[in-house]
Amino acid sequence: MDLTEQINQLEADLQELGSLLEKAERKRVKEVLQQEQKKIEKELAVKRQQREQQARREADPSRATYTVKITNYAWDQSEKFVKIYLTLKDVHKIPQENVEVKFTDSSFSVLVKELDGKNHQMTILNLLCPIDEKDSYKKIKTDMVLIMCKKQATKKWDCLTKVEKQSKDKDKPSTDDAADPSEGLMNMLKKIYSEGDDEMKRTINKAWSESQEKKIRGEAGDMMDF
């Protein structure tokens, strides 16, 4: 059924509802009919907007739809799902089939077609942990697409992708047991010194000087004992 036929059906439904409302006498019956009337009016407005967009495209076929990347998103998780929130104004007003989401066990991609004269695309590769592609799905909400990635294992994710995990691990200080502890301490002090303010640098210099003096005095004492 094309858009024009859908609009005709909705208009006929509205007309019949109007007739029923005129005949209805009981308050509860009227309220039920009015609720249904509002629902159909809202759906009809969306369908008419879609038909106008379709007519503009057909009138100017040279006007190519271009694709933009979705870069702004938020994510959260529950015990069983990782949830990605994409804010896209008026996405709930386009046909649901225009929102395509594809899953693999380690990635997902989103393509929102013909929204505000553009296509919107997003791909996330190398998810931190495997997902179950068959039980993952999308939800269309007001001005939002919600991507539900079903976890294969019910463990907490520290971040969304392996790349983010590697970046976080790289920034962590080394805890290699085989490394020389004094070397690790020196590296840490150098990092603090290079990033610290003048007061921090004076404090470190003072502590270092005192430590060297104690070391020299200790070695001198050992030589006298000898």
pLDDT in tens, 20-63: 888 888 888 888 889 998 988 988 888 888 788 777 766 665 55
Same-domain pairing of 114 and 131: yes
Single out the residue in 165, 181, 197 at which a domain terminates. 165
Q: Give the pLDDT confidence score for residue 226 in this predicted structure.
A: 45
Same-domain pairing of 41 and 99: no
Could you give the CA distance from residue 161 to residue 163 in angstroms, rounded to a whole number? 5
Answer whether residue 186 is part of any domain. Answer: no
Same-domain pairing of 78 and 125: yes
Answer whether residue 174 is part of any domain. Answer: no
Same-domain pairing of 115 and 74: yes
Contact 42, 35 (CB under 8 A): no
Answer whether residue 184 is part of any domain. Answer: no
SS3 58: helix
| pLDDT beneath 70: ranges in the chain | 1, 57-65, 172-189, 191, 193, 195-196, 201, 215-226
Its domain, for residue 95, covers 66-165
Mean confidence (pLDDT) of the chain: 82
Contact 78, 148 (CB under 8 A): no
Same-domain pairing of 95 and 28: no
Supply the DSSP symbol for 142: T
* pTM of the shown model: 0.53
Answer whether residue 210 is part of any domain. Answer: no
